[in-house]
Amino acid sequence: MIISKIPIFITVRGNNDNVRQINKESLKFSYLFIKNLDLFNQTYIISDNKDILDYAAALGFKKENNIHYPCGNEKELDYLEYRATYRYGVEHDYHPDWIILLNINQIFKKVSLLRDCISNIDDKYDVIASYTGISNKSHLFVDEALNNKEQDKSNLLSSVHHRVKMVDSAIYAVKSSFAFECMKYDDPAKHFWNGKIKYFKNNSLYTDIFNIDDIYKYYDAADTIEKIKEVEKELDKK
């Protein structure tokens, strides 16, 4: 399947100040991803907030591809991407075979991620989803509800852990007919996850963004890497 034939939808919620701040920062990374692939013509920004859409246009996303979907309640907000893509398809009589849903909060995406996702498209499935491998370190979890003196520390000393596969939500390819079918249900997300799903590995760095400080940690890491490069340059001179 040809990349240029598949529309890409990026949902950027802006329902409160904290969410807007996080998603504006995250959107910069999605902008770079789309820019590197030169796919602005087929990329659509979905938001419940007009300020977010204006910010997306200022970054370089096509303003005519902005989709504003005001949400009257939390339930509509939870299913924003499903409702917005459905409404867009109906209003524009636009029904491609597959669509791409790109998650802005997985900020690091290799250019190859989109290619890998599309190459895994198979009409036997409803959804193609990326996963990442993480270490299962549940033995290190701390139960803060317990007093330190009462807490059993034996698990904290365990060195037994293994890699587990987890859907990272970085990217999904969704069959359009299935996406529209989800809208017939009171809980579209539940029907989505009950669909036939094929998984493929995402080799990009996994990120867990819940607040603005999470993003700033990666900025700090980038500064550290630049300093390490300077140290390496000095070593090369010796």
Model confidence pLDDT, tens digit, residues 126-139: 999 999 988 777 76
**What is the C-alpha to C-alpha distance for residues 69 and 76, in angstroms, rounded to an integer?**
9
Predicted confidence (pLDDT) per residue in 63-98, tens digit: 998 888 777 666 666 667 777 777 777 777 777 889
Two structure tokens written together for 168: 């990272």
What are the extents of the domains in the chain?
Answer: 3-133+166-207, 212-238
Asked if residue 2 has pLDDT above 60, the reply is yes
Residue scoring higher pLDDT (147 or 105): 105
Confidence (pLDDT) at 145: 58
Say if CB 201 and CB 138 are below 8 A apart: no
Two structure tokens written together for 35: 């820019």
Q: Which CATH homologous superfamily contains domain 3-133+166-207?
A: Spore Coat Polysaccharide Biosynthesis Protein SpsA; Chain A (3.90.550.10)
Count of C-beta atoms within a 10 Å radius of residue 29: 19
Burial of 14 by CB count in 10 Å (0-12 exposed, 13-18 middle, 19+ buried)?
A: buried
DSSP secondary structure of 26-83: HHHHHHHHHHHHT-GGGEEEEES-HHHHHHHHHHT--GGGEEE---SSHHHHHTHHHH
232: left (phi over 0), alpha (psi -120 to 50) or beta: alpha
Residue scoring higher pLDDT (76 or 125): 125
The residue with tokens 């907030």 is 49
Say if CB 100 and CB 179 are below 8 A apart: no
Confidence (pLDDT) at 72: 63
Two structure tokens written together for 196: 């036939």
